[in-house]
Amino acid sequence: MAVEDDYFDHLKEVNRTFYDQVRGADQKAAYIFTFMLALLIWSSEAREVFTVHRYVGAPPLVIGLSAIAAVSLLTAAMAAILVVMPRRRAGGSSLFWGNWDAVAGPLKEAEARGDLGFLKEEYRTNITHLSAICRTKYRLVGLAFRALAVTLVAHFALLATS
């Protein structure tokens, strides 16, 4: 029985860890988004990459760097926003509030039977969903971070050409 308890404890710990990683991805995206907003608020150079007059009659280098900065900034913003968008997947477990109505009855029946296997399967299902959500979120966080880095390089290059 102790091995089974250890295994169940491990499932609960994996679930907690993945949940923390989902929350961590959201926080990283929020930091990236906050930094981007600060850049747009405090830098007229950053705001100007979104204006037509920036491109009309400008040297090719300025046009290219401005376009790179604008596209990478928009990419970073969209990726950061998509990170924090709610995620829904088909199916789910009793550990996800959006699936509660579908599993409340079976959970109560499993409790009446003393079916620990049902609980383990709920954790396994939730872990599978959290893992997929983490992969998506961290892929988008990585994209947002790389796009922000490109934005900063283009921004500093524009400042150097001014």
* pLDDT tens per residue, range 13-28: 999 999 999 999 999 9
Provide the whole-model pTM: 0.85
Task: Tell me what the pLDDT averaged over the chain comes to.
Answer: 91
Residue with the two structure tokens 């409790």: 111
Residue 142: what pLDDT? Answer: 97
Residue 141: what pLDDT? Answer: 97
Q: For residue 74, what are the CA distances in angstroms to 43, 47, 137, 143, 160?
A: 16, 12, 18, 11, 22
* pLDDT tens per residue, range 127-139: 999 999 999 999 9
Average pLDDT over residues 135-160: 96
Residue 1: what pLDDT? Answer: 55
Q: What percent of the chain has pLDDT over 90?
A: 70
